[in-house]
A and B are shown apart, each in its own frame.
Chain A
């Protein structure tokens, strides 16, 4: 059974740092691209960061670029999000999500989607 379990959230003051972790099990973690998505109170889902299998490529939302760093340790089946210079607007539930893709033969292309999500960890940035 695929499982993703986030941890590391909590209450932090503005300007502070926090490191989120996501423990993966039930699948070959190293084969998959992984993502972080957040859900702020009263708002829609916001994609935050992506890391490819093999750790060769990372992408970030403009709202976190330069402050957050996504990483992974395939030996530990773990995904991380280092969050620095935290702001009030970073308050949200943070989810890790496994990315897989559907191969469409007509266009010979892969269509990515998030098939498994963790239960989320709450980050509250407040003084």
Chain B
């Protein structure tokens, strides 16, 4: 199975900061990479699919890049509502659709 490794596991930042989270796949997955945001007690929310396509309604301060096995999620200017846990997911070929372990973004 494909393993997904995110870094860092946690991150402290301030409002207005630029933040980058990375996700590495154990093998090449082309652009089969999605990003989700999850707040405590809430369901995950899709942010980006196909590595770089912003889901409808997601603010443009979120962006994704990468292809192959290395990917990044960038938040250009942190807002108070962005403090959450972010997870990458690979959807290459048939399931299992593995997730990264998550990155907790804290103030």
Contacts and interface: CB of A to CB of B under 8 A. Distances in A.
Interface of A: 35, 37, 39, 43-47, 50, 59, 61-62, 95, 97, 102, 104, 107, 109, 111-115, 117-120
Nearest to A46: B99
26 contacts: A35-B95, A37-B44, A37-B99, A39-B38, A44-B87, A45-B36, A45-B38, A45-B99, A47-B89, A47-B96, A47-B97, A47-B98, A47-B99, A59-B96, A62-B96, A95-B44, A104-B31, A107-B30, A111-B49, A111-B50, A111-B91, A112-B91, A113-B49, A114-B46, A115-B49, A115-B55
Which secondary structure characterizes the binding site on chain A? strand
A40 B42 CA distance: 13
A50 B98 CA distance: 12
B31 A59 contact: no
Nearest to A96: B43
Which secondary structure characterizes the binding site on chain B? loop
4 tightest A-B CB contacts, nearest first: A113-B49, A59-B95, A117-B43, A44-B101
Interface residues of B, number: 28
Interface of B: 1, 30-32, 34, 36, 38, 42-46, 49-50, 53, 55, 87, 89, 91, 94-102
A35 B97 contact: yes
